[in-house]
Amino acid sequence: MNTDKFEFVKTEINKLLKKEVEITLDTVLLDIGLDSLDIVELQMIYEETFNVELKDIEQSIKTVADLIRAIELG
């Protein structure tokens, strides 16, 4: 798993939450307060930052690892 993508996702999650939380690959997004709209927002931030288009991914995303995997496949 790409550590740059993990660091990017971790930073963006903390920005969305407006606080610093400990995030690992196994972190469940719902458990830290993110909902499906937040996941879509993370997807949009990634697309804008890296000038790529990802398919609609939020339905299968439960953990940080799921999100990064979807980005890598995107």
Q: What is the pTM of this model?
A: 0.84
Give the C-alpha separation, 20 to 60, whole Å.
Answer: 25
Report d(CA 33, CA 29) in Å as an integer. 7
Dist CA 48 CA 27 (whole Å): 24
Q: What is the pLDDT of residues 16-74, one digit of tens each?
A: 999 999 999 999 999 999 988 898 898 889 889 888 887 766 567 889 998 888 777 76
**Distance separating alpha carbons of residues 50 and 35, to the nearest angstrom:** 23
Q: What domain count does the chain have?
A: 1
What domain range is 28 assigned to? 3-73
Cβ-contact 74, 52 below 8 angstroms: yes
Kindly report the CATH number assigned to the domain that includes residue 51: 1.10.1200.10
